[in-house]
Amino acid sequence: MADFQKQWQIDALFVVDAALYTEDNLQMIVSFRCVSRVPATLTAAK
């Protein structure tokens, strides 16, 4: 994600899949505007 941010300095809304939805990634993408579907394996999603 850090490399991606360095390469793409644009103001956009990113659509990401559920694979990005991890605690580490969520902390890293705070500065990104993005939407994601949470993994169906999460209890909160059920």
Cβ atoms < 10 Å from Cβ of 20 = 17
Give the pTM. 0.51
pLDDT one-digit tens code per residue, 8-36: 777 888 888 888 778 888 887 777 788 87
Beta strands in 1-46 (DSSP E): 13-16, 33-36
Number of domains in the chain: 1
> 18 is in which domain, residue-wise?
2-45
Is residue 14 within 8 A of residue 34, CB to CB? The reply is yes
Q: How many CA atoms lie within 13 A of 8 on its CB side?
A: 12
- Cα 33 to Cα 15: distance, rounded to the nearest angstrom: 9
